[in-house]
Structure 1
């Protein structure tokens, strides 16, 4: 008997990405597109019973760093374990194209420092079969993935390509430099770049400690590039603008971004988080953003679903004893655990601390009051009384004693953004704001310190289901992570379960949806290790109508491809 559709999902609770209340019904798929929604009478060549499951659009993650991984890997994990069916890479002004042969190591060191991707991994993994940005896109266009991927033109690579050493040393760009960067940016948009990204934060440094080349780029340089995006496409404009900034002077910095958006006509987004240094600064930026959007400007703030936090562990980049002179860096993990169980060794660590004045130790490794045991059921909104410092005080022991015990058992979580108040109330307010979208997951980066590609799962579990107070409607969160993120980067053909839309779909058992603890895998090029995090509860994920994952396991289908620019429905 012939089939009317390639696949029909039956009896699910469809939360379609529009923000409207979900409805029980069916979803039919034909030729990679959604063909019908509601009570579908036709038959599918394959049928999936989704009774008891929610049916959502595939999630769109607009802030990742899969620029390198996409050149050697077909599965963009961990994101694909969390319902993500489209990612945008090339964020924060860092990437690998354009790049002259002599600058390859320079860009690797920048990515190593900014995104914690080890030099040997990138040195062995990157094929470098490109120099220009269009050639980089061409190198990816023949590859198949478990999701779609779009790339932005990174400012640091562009600046070094045009200015060489002057660009790397953050010297001012001349009028000729700006003209060259603008021409290359316009060509990149025509080749299929999703946009242009830049970084203006001191947190972004090369592995040898130098600030990112774009840190102090002047407005005329940024404006020249932004106007080039506005000219692309026969004057209709192409691509988006993405910024990360310290906002040392938030009013002046935002005013500059507003001028860039206004004059170029291109959508602009920026990273927004609560800083422990200025805990209320995010409110001021949202006020300024409201004024801009009220004036009709297409601006958004990208916000995280939970704290931005570092993981410390024996098999990770850092642990609380990394700077101690007596720490046996070269010892095996088993030997390190054995030593940490020895009270005499721990006493020696306490007696011989790192040299005073070490910024890393002060800022991160010895912030005992901000350290929490991650455990087998990760809790990203821990109570202050569960901190390492609080436990040490209750027991009357040194902080290092508790740290040694926790390290033997697993990983230590150190939230450093979005947790200045000891809770996630600020995050809830950001997520609820009309001018924000979920972002900042950094999937594919920070492989030895951060594992936030699971942000979409946190949205559904913590914010829609589990939080004691301040929960947000499931329909609102799914709209934000699917429809709104897609539209923010110019993708109009996905993020919504409606006829004609791309059949990127998740089937989720919301009751069983849960994050598993991060784990370490040694599967990168050159034997490099990375943090990965799985989840339970994703019964199936579809990309272009093909089931790519069932119950968290890859099916072998690889329908994902390189995106070349914006899409229409």
Structure 2
């Protein structure tokens, strides 16, 4: 019997958590048709001797909605053995969108995803208005990997309510209209919906993202709409205080579970350096919901971000910083020099309102001003002590002296590896949060799949290879109820990765490149040890080289 593809002689780690075993895998018409000893002929053969053959990894949390307009390879996520990714998370996206609200959608992306206006204007082609048209346009351009399309509530609510979406909840009549729009998107193949409650998610001119104004009555109606379709799930950045789960947050998760009957995944679970142990407290509060398919996501590396005050995303929760968003450099410099602004900033930092409030965790990373070059690599706390100045003033003085081009490396969370190891092995927590396409000038967690296998499995021996693969395949698929993917199983879609367990990995820290449209910059993480990535039975990446195939489809 002839096959399209046979992978021979590899150790199969099938995503179930069971022990690996040596076998061949045969593929025909995009699906796995046989696992075992394969004797038939094949159009294409992959020799996997000495390699691990696993289900393609599934990244449940990315923001490639805009990038897919110019990057069908979905980089850097797809370099790391990922064959399916979910976009449209955190209530942020590009559809549905009327022509007269494109400006607002762009500023949402600029503020939340840290892309420049020049990049977005050069890269986005706006071949859609409805969500179904957005899906069709994205898939029509081709994608190297499969895409799960979440309907983000911010553009959805803006489509129906206009500017009022960032000011108030929807009325009962408006909610009915919104449910109709959501239902249309689900019928077109969307995977579910997403939202955000987080105060650092600000949009146009520093106003709240429209999803943050969603009422519980709305949430209940949207959840019921997803439930009626009987597939997919819900993602929500639920913590109004980052990484701290409050009673109202738990109540909202319970409502979403009850009204939808579908999986719910929530953010953001981090062990904040400023609040050690907060992640475990959050898990304890919501642990009872795992029985209903409700899981948080976390990252696998110490959470370091690169930040500046040109796009002051890190300080978005502080009201005084609202005036800094989307302003010319000279306006920002005047604001940062203002005595009243500095007084408020110092008070906010002293009272712990900022995500990171210890100036020992802010390191001066880069500056254009030659006078600042000797300070690179030093912390703001150290520089302030040397100057005999307040750290808040020193931080702002450094920015002003460099025309707000200074960049800082900030240690945000997960710096305690013992606590991070506990999180990665806790069955109530899921591994994900790659965030590809978002915060592109600040961070890149897109290499988490290969980092997990290289650092935590091979070097630290925190968990077995089989358990790690399960964490990033079948468990990740379960976050949205993605069907017939995440396992090596006869009849399932042939999404497969072949990797070298002796070399697989990625760097602890990403690096900055200028490969976006209009010369824009982003952080990337490169993969090591990934031999082949197969999507729907077609070889997409062969030892890091794209084969030209773009077989990705919408998953649900």
Q: Tell me the TM-score range normalised by the shorter chain.
A: 0.7 to 0.9
Tell me the residue number matched to 1:263. 259
Mapping for residues 488-567 of structure 1, pairs under 5 Å = 488-516=479-507, 518-563=510-555, 566=556
1:276-287 matches, within 5 Å, as 276-287=273-284
Are the counterparts in 2 of residues 534 and 552 from structure 1 also a CA contact under 8 Å? no
Structure 1 distance, partners of 2:27, 2:254, is 41
State whether structure 2 residue 105 is matched by structure 1 residue 107: yes
2:216 aligns with 219
Deviation at 1:388, TM superposition (A): 4.9
Match of 1:473 in 2: 464
Gaps of 5+ in 2: 315-320, 322-327, 330-338, 366-376
Q: TM-score, normalised by structure 2?
A: 0.82
| Partner Cα distance (1:412, 1:150) in 2 | 34
Shift of 1:268: 0.8
Larger CA deviation: 301-310 vs 92-101: 301-310
Q: Over aligned residue pairs, what C-alpha RMSD do you find?
A: 3.5
SS in 2 for 1:414: strand
**Residues in 1 aligned to 2:355 and 2:178: alpha-carbon distance in whole angstroms:** 37
Paired residues of 2:106 and 2:120 also in contact (CA < 8 A): yes
Q: Match of 1:343? A: none
Question: C-alpha separation between the residues in 2 aligned to 1:165 and 1:106?
Answer: 9
1:143–1:561 contact (8 Å) kept in structure 2 = no
Correspondence 1:158-307 to 2 at 5 A = 158-169=156-167, 171-206=168-203, 208-232=205-229, 237-248=230-241, 250-271=246-267, 272-294=269-291, 297-307=292-302
**Displacement after TM superposition at 1:288 (Å):** 3.3
Structure 1 residues 219 and 77, CA gap change in structure 2 (3 angstroms): same
Q: Do the aligned partners of residues 368 and 13 (structure 1) sit closer, same or farther apart at CA in structure 2, a change above 3 Å counting?
A: farther
**Within 2, Cα distance between the matches of 1:424 and 1:151?**
33
Deviation at 1:313, TM superposition (A): 9.1
Report whether the alignment pairs 1:433 with 2:426. Answer: yes
The 2-side partners of 1:372 and 1:510 are apart by 35
Out of 444, 453, 459, the position equivalent to 1:460 is 453
Q: Shift of residue 490 of structure 1? A: 2.2
Is the 2:30–2:537 contact (alpha carbons within 8 Å) kept by the matching residues of 1? yes
Change (3 A) 1:498 1:290: same
**Unmatched runs of 5 consecutive residues or more in structure 1:** 324-328, 331-352, 375-386
Any conservation in 2 of the 1:370–1:388 contact (CA below 8 Å)? no
| Alignment correspondent of 1:337 | none
CA shift at 1:365, angstroms? Answer: 9.7
Counterpart mapping for 1:142-161 below 5 A:
142-161=140-159
Residues 52 and 373 (structure 1), Cα distance of their counterparts in 2 relative to 1, 3 Å cut:
farther
Shift of 1:494: 1.3
Q: How far 1:172 moved relative to its partner?
A: 2.6
Compared with structure 1, are the counterparts of its residues 427 and 549 closer, same or farther at alpha carbon in structure 2 (3 Å cutoff)?
Answer: same
In the superposition, relative to structure 1, how do residues 412 and 172 fare at CA in structure 2: closer, same or farther (>3 Å)?
closer
Task: Give the TM-score taking structure 1 as reference length.
Answer: 0.80
Change (3 A) 1:372 1:277: closer
- Tell me, in whole angstroms, the C-alpha distance in 1 between the residues paired with 2:50 and 2:79: 20
CA positional deviation for 1:89: 0.2
Distance, in Å, in 2 between the alignment partners of 1:14 and 1:411 is 44
Higher deviation after alignment, 524-533 or 535-544: 524-533
Check the 8 A contact 1:541/1:549 in 2, yes or no. yes
1:371 shift after superposition: 5.2
SS of equivalent to 2:90: coil
> Take 1:228 and 1:417, find their aligned partners in 2: how far apart are those partners?
36
What's the offset of the Cα at 1:246? 2.4
Q: 1:366 to 1:281 in 2, by over 3 A?
A: closer
- Decide whether aligned partners of structure 1 residues 124 and 455 sit closer, same or farther in structure 2, where only a CA change above 3 A counts: same
Matching of residue 124 in structure 1 with residue 119 in structure 2: no
What is the aligned partner in structure 1 of residue 443 from structure 2?
Answer: 450
Please identify which structure carries the higher helix content: 2
Cα 1:391–1:478 change in 2 (3 A) is farther
